[in-house]
Structures are given as C-alpha cells and as structure tokens.
Structure 1
Amino acid sequence: MKTLEKLKGHLQRGNLYRRSDLEQWSTSVDRHLRQLVAEGTLQKMSQGLYYFPKETDFGPAPPDESSLVQAFLKDDNFLIFSPNDYNSLRVGTTQLYNKRIVYNHKRHGEFELGGRKFFFHMKPKFPKKLTPEFLLVDLVNNLDTLAEDQNLILCNILIKTKIQNISKMKQNVTAYGGLRAKKILLPILEETLG
C-alpha cells in the first residue's frame, strides 16, 4: 500500500490535525499534505493545521470554533466570545460585531483559522464560561474599544451592578477587572454591601 493511502487510513472525519500529528504516518509529510489539500481530502485551516471535514447532506461541515481554537493553541484553557454578547446585558450596547475574541494564556494577535478571524488576547485569568457578572466587568474593561455611547453604557452598568448578585460581582471585579473596572465598580459594590 502506498504511503499516502496509509496516511489516509489514519484520518478520521471531523478531526483537526497538526502537521506534527501526521509525521508518524508519513516520511514525506509536507508533500503528502500538499496532495491531500489539492485533492480536497484535507482543508488547510492555518499554518500547520488541517481539517478532515465531515460530510453532511449540505456538503462538508466546518469544524466547530472551539475545536479549531483548541487545536490551534494545543490547549483547552481559553474562553471564546463576541462583543455581541455584551448586548445580552441590556445596558445600551446594540452594535453587531463580526469578531470572535479568544482569551487565553499562549497567543496574542489576530489569526485567521478556517477562513474566520479570531482576536487572541493573553490574559492572566478568565472564567471557563461566560456569566453576566464577568461580561459586565469585561465590558467596563473594554468600553473604549466599542462604537457605542460610553457615558450612557457606563451609567447603565452602574445601575445593573447594584441589582446583580453582589458577592459574585465583587469576585468577578477582583479576579478579572482591570484598574478602570476596579476603580469604578468596587466602590459601588462596597456601598451596596453597606
């Protein structure tokens, strides 16, 4: 059996592969990867990252973004979200953004993965999943990056902060708040705790 066919035999639909994952089955991994991409077996997601798409009734299914980011980072410690998630807080944000943000411990910068742009930000700490309390703190941290009426949103955040779970808010401000968020939110939380 030819080496390329042996390599294909190890691929599973729906999986992402790094170049280094495939070296164990090929002595000419770069040539084989070029061939597999050219024939459409694999799709190149980014430098050194490939996807063997699952087939559906509607054609090949793209990888889910969490798997894509996990394979890119070689790590599962990250948080993916969009500035659109701030809209769920009902504090006056209404813009729609075509942007995915990835908080992580390894990479910083803008990367295109599978035709989608991701903005990676290295952060010392972030939660495993989004919560309203975290989003409020993160919104204050990033208020100046949004195309919104910042004063109106900040007023609404201050009102919203008082009706959130105060102990959860304080934990989130302490853990994830930048200097600005701590300066603005901690006095309000202290006052509410009385």
Structure 2
Amino acid sequence: MARVNELKRQLKPGQVYRREDLTPYSNAVDRHLAQLVRDGTLQKLAQGLYYFPKKTAFGTPPPNDETLVRSFLKDKRFLLTSPNSYNTLGVGTTQLYNKRVVYNLKRHEEVTLNGKTFFFHKTPYFPKKATPEFLLVDLVNNLDSLAEEREQILKNILAKAKTMNLAKLEHAVDEYGHSKTKKLFRPVLAEMKKTRHAQ
C-alpha cells in the first residue's frame, strides 16, 4: 500500500502518463497501475497510457488533445490540426470531420487515444502554429481526400491567395507544399510579385 501511495504522490491532476514515466516510483508498476485504474484514481486511455483526472465543479473533464498527444509522442514538437480548420479560411469548405491530424517527427500511423482517432503524419516540415497561409497550402495538399466540390474550392483558394501576405504565402508553399501544390501556386505567386513590383 505504501508503494501505491508513493506512486499516487507523483501524479498531477490533468496530466497524462506513459507506463514508463511511472516505473521509477513502483516496484510492481503493472499491478499498481491496475489497482489505481480499478479504484478510479487513473483512467486507462490506451495501451500503456493513463490519465490522472482533474476534478472540477462540473465533474471530471477528459484530457485535452494537446496533453494526450504530447504524452503519447513523448515529444512537444508536433502540430495538431483538423480538416475543420480549413473552414476558417472562407474558401467554401463546409464539411465537418471527426478527424485529428498530428504532424510530427516520430510516428506515421492511425491511433485511437481515449476513444478519439488521431492520424499521425511523420514529416520534418510543419510550423509551430497553423497560420492561414499554412492552412491554405495544407488544404491544397489534402483536397483530393476531402468531401468538397474540388473545382470551385480551387478557384476560391487561388482568389484567397491573392489577398494574403506574399512573403508568408511563398514561405508556406516552399516549406509545406507538395509538388502538385507548388505547381498550382507558382503562377499565382508570380502574378502577385508582378503586381507588387508594378505598384
């Protein structure tokens, strides 16, 4: 019992832990984790992944996606986004997707964590934050996989691109665009440069 209490003392409300994070505090970590799950102290989210709930006046909220992904990857270098983010661009995308995309340096797989599906895409190229320029490029990268009216959306994308900051858009295209995406944006960027020089 003393070892279980020692393990409990290491836990912070609202945090997600991997099994190996807790092994230094237990001489029988699997047995102790099973015990803490049984008594409701911990929630098991996936194989080897546990959540210490933070109790509030409104009950026990689930871990937020950022905390979940950070613990799963054992890395804070990732970008968590969703196709729903494209709807903020105002280019005509309207679908809602129950899909979370994680650009990261380590994993390329589909994983269910706490009942949610995350699509991990391993790539060295992603920004710290999903800027409008990145989202526009990312939308073109992924347009074929979305349930949208492709031709009309593409027209809207090219019109939207012309209203954006040239340097930021050019950087996003160069850094994050697939080859087809770069080809699509090339004439638009050239036109934007020409217009800027003419002013």
- TM value normalised by structure 2: 0.94
Residue pair 1:13, 1:54 contacting (<8 A) in 2 also: yes
Q: In structure 2, give the amino acid aligned to 1:109.
A: E
Q: Which residue of 1 aligns with 2:197?
A: none
Q: In structure 2, give the amino acid aligned to 1:66.
A: E
Q: In structure 1, give the amino acid aligned to 2:185.
A: L
Q: Which residue of 2 aligns with 1:36?
A: 36
Residue pair 1:103, 1:120 contacting (<8 A) in 2 also: yes
Q: Which residue of 1 aligns with 2:112?
A: 112
Q: In structure 2, give the amino acid aligned to 1:46.
A: A
Residue pair 1:170, 1:186 contacting (<8 A) in 2 also: no
Moved more, 146-155 or 18-27: 18-27
1:20 partnered with 2:46: no
1:2 partnered with 2:12: no
CA–CA distance in structure 2, aligned partners of residues 34 and 17 of structure 1: 14
Moved more, 43-52 or 70-79: 43-52
Q: 1:130-165 CA deviation, whole Å, 9 max, x = no partner?
A: 111101100110000100100000011111111111
Q: In structure 2, give the amino acid aligned to 1:102.
A: V
Q: Which residue of 2 aligns with 1:127?
A: 127
Moved more, 2-11 or 146-155: 2-11
Tell me by how many angstroms 1:191 deviates.
Answer: 2.0
- Cα RMSD, aligned residues only: 1.1
Tell me by how many angstroms 1:5 deviates.
Answer: 2.1
CA–CA distance in structure 1, aligned partners of residues 164 and 13 of structure 2: 44
Q: Which residue of 1 aligns with 2:96?
A: 96
Q: In structure 2, give the amino acid aligned to 1:82.
A: S
1:145 partnered with 2:145: yes
CA–CA distance in structure 2, aligned partners of residues 98 and 2 of structure 1: 43
CA–CA distance in structure 2, aligned partners of residues 21 and 91 of structure 1: 44
CA–CA distance in structure 1, aligned partners of residues 75 and 167 of structure 2: 31
Unaligned runs of 5+ in 2: 195-199
Q: In structure 1, give the amino acid aligned to 2:69.
A: V
SS in 2 for 1:55: coil
Matches within 5 A, 1:47-66: 47-66=47-66
Tell me by how many angstroms 1:183 deviates.
Answer: 0.4
SS in 1 for 2:13: coil
Unaligned runs of 5+ in 1: none
CA–CA distance in structure 1, aligned partners of residues 46 and 32 of structure 2: 17
